[in-house]
C-alpha cells in the first residue's frame, strides 16, 4: 500500500471547514459504561481546550430507548458552557442506527427515519443547521439511493449544511457522490493500526477530495497485549509519548484526508490524544509501522 507520509499537525479540510487534525469521538460518553454528566462535560471541555474542533456524535449514542440523542444533548450543553468560540466547532451527527434499549444496535436508514431523526438532532444541537450529517450505515432492507436521497432532501431544506456516509464500500461511496454531488464532504469508516481493511475507500475519498473520519482509531493499541501494542509502545517510548499517540500520528501520516476521532471518557485521555497532532514520526519508523499493520502489504 502506498504511504504518503504527510506531515501531521496542520489543520485538515472537512468540507468548508479547516479543523484541528484530531477530533473527539463522543460515543463512549453516552453508551454503556459512560461517565457521569460532570465528567463527560469536563472531557468535552478538555478536548476543546486542547484545540479539538470537531466532535463526532450520533442520535444512537445512548443506552435506554427513551434517551435517543443523549450524546447530542450532552455536546450542546458542553458547548453552551465553554468559554471559547463555538462557531468554530464542527459537530458531526448521524442517523441510520437505532438502539431499542436492550443493548442491541439495529439499522434503520429508511428515508422517513433519516429525515425525522435529522430534524430532531438539529433541535437537540441547537444549531440553525447540522454542520455535517452522516448516514450512519447502509440498510440492507432499503435501496441505498433512497437513503441518500433523504440526505439530499435535508441539504435542500437547510437542515444539514453538508453530508457524509459511514461504513461504506467504494461502490457505495461512488453512488453517494453521484447522488449528492458537492454536498458530500466526508466518509467515516473504521481505520486503525489493527483495522486497515478500508484502504481503497480512503484512496477514493482522497480522489474525491473528501475528509476520511477514522472511527475507533486506536483499535487494539493499548487494549490488548499483542504484537502491535508492543511495537507502538516501543516507538512511543523512544519519543516519550503514549502508544496511542503513535497510533494517531501513524494514521494521520497515511493521508492528509484522515482525521482520527478517538473516543474518551476522561479528560486526560483526550488531552493525550490531541497532543499527537505535534508528533512527527521519521519515514523509516512509518515504514516499519506500515509493514507491521499490513498497510505496506
Ligand X SMILES: NC(=O)c1ccc[n+]([C@@H]2O[C@H](COP(=O)([O-])OP(=O)(O)OC[C@H]3O[C@@H](n4cnc5c(N)ncnc54)[C@H](OP(=O)(O)O)[C@@H]3O)[C@@H](O)[C@H]2O)c1
- Closer CB to ligand X, residue 135 or residue 183? 135
- Closer CB to ligand X, residue 161 or residue 274? 274
- Closer CB to ligand X, residue 9 or residue 287? 9
274 is written with which cell numbers?
490531541
- Closer CB to ligand X, residue 69 or residue 217? 217
- Closer CB to ligand X, residue 27 or residue 202? 27
Closest residue to ligand X: CB criterion: 263
Give whole-number Cα distances, 248 to 39, 141, 214, 239, 280, in Å.
24, 35, 10, 14, 11
Which of 272, 217, 266 is closest to 240 using CA atoms? 272
Shortest distance (Å) from residue 109 CB to ligand X: 12
Shortest distance (Å) from residue 56 CB to ligand X: 4
Shortest distance (Å) from residue 136 CB to ligand X: 6
- Closer CB to ligand X, residue 117 or residue 273? 273
- Closer CB to ligand X, residue 158 or residue 278? 278
Shortest distance (Å) from residue 215 CB to ligand X: 4
Name, in order, each residue with C-beta under 8 angstroms of 161's C-beta and a sequence gap of 6 or more. 15, 16, 129, 130, 131, 132, 155
Name, in order, each residue with C-beta under 8 angstroms of 47's C-beta and a sequence gap of 6 or more. 24, 55, 264, 270, 271, 274
Which of 52, 1, 21 is closest to 256 using CA atoms? 21
Alpha-carbon distance of 86 to 53, in angstroms, equals 9
Shortest distance (Å) from residue 22 CB to ligand X: 10
Shortest distance (Å) from residue 218 CB to ligand X: 3
130 is written with which cell numbers?
447540522
Name, in order, each residue with C-beta under 8 angstroms of 179's C-beta and a sequence gap of 6 or more. 145, 148, 149, 151, 152
Alpha-carbon distance of 227 to 230, in angstroms, equals 5
59 is written with which cell numbers?
442520535
Q: Note the residues at the interface with ligand X (CB under 6 A).
A: 25-28, 56, 136, 166-167, 188, 215-218, 222, 242, 244, 261-266, 269, 272-273
Phi, psi angles (nearest 5°) of residue 4? -85, -15
- Closer CB to ligand X, residue 29 or residue 283? 29
Give whole-number Cα distances, 214 to 11, 21, 35, 163, in Å.
16, 11, 23, 16
Which of 69, 16, 74, 17 is closest to 47 using CA atoms? 74
Shortest distance (Å) from residue 273 CB to ligand X: 4
Q: What are the beta bridge partners of residue 107?
A: 97
Shortest distance (Å) from residue 184 CB to ligand X: 16
Amino acid at each position: 500500500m502506498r504511504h504518503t507520509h504527510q506531515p501531521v499537525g496542520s489543520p485538515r479540510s472537512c468540507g468548508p471547514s479547516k479543523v484541528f487534525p484530531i477530533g473527539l469521538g463522543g460515543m463512549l460518553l453516552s453508551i454503556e459504561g459512560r461517565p457521569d454528566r460532570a465528567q463527560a462535560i469536563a472531557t468535552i471541555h478538555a478536548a476543546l481546550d486542547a484545540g479539538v474542533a470537531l466532535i463526532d456524535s450520533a442520535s444512537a449514542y445512548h443506552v435506554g430507548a427513551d434517551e435517543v440523542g443523549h450524546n447530542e444533548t450532552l455536546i450542546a450543553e458542553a458547548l453552551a458552557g465553554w468559554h471559547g468560540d463555538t462557531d468554530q466547532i464542527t459537530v458531526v451527527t448521524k442517523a441510520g442506527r437505532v438502539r431499542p434499549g436492550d443493548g442491541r444496535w439495529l439499522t434503520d436508514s429508511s428515508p422517513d427515519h433519516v429525515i425525522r431523526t435529522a430534524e430532531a438532532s438539529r433541535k437537540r444541537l441547537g444549531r440553525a443547521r447540522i454542520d455535517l450529517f452522516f448516514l450512519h450505515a447502509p440498510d440492507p432492507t432499503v435501496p441505498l439511493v433512497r437513503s441518500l436521497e433523504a440526505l439530499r432532501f435535508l441539504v435542500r431544506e437547510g437542515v444539514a449544511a453538508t453530508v457524509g456516509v459511514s461504513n461504506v464500500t467504494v461502490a457505495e461511496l461512488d453512488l453517494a457522490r453521484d447522488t449528492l454531488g458537492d454536498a458530500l464532504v466526508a466518509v467515516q469508516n473504521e481505520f486503525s493500526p489493527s483495522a486497515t481493511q478500508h484502504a481503497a475507500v480512503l484512496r477514493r475519498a482522497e480522489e474525491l477530495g473528501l475528509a476520511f473520519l477514522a472511527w475507533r482509531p486506536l483499535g487494539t493499541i493499548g487494549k490488548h497485549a499483542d504484537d502491535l501494542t508492543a511495537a507502538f509502545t516501543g516507538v512511543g517510548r523512544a519519543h516519550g509519548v503514549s502508544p496511542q499517540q503513535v497510533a494517531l500520528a501513524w494514521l494521520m501520516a497515511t493521508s492528509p484526508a484522515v482525521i482520527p476521532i478517538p473516543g474518551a471518557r476522561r479528560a486526560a485521555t483526550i488531552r493525550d490524544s490531541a497532543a499527537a497532532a505535534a508528533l512527527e514520526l521519521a519515514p523509516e519508523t512509518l515504514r516499519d509501522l506500515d509493514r507491521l499493520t499490513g498497510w505496506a502489504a
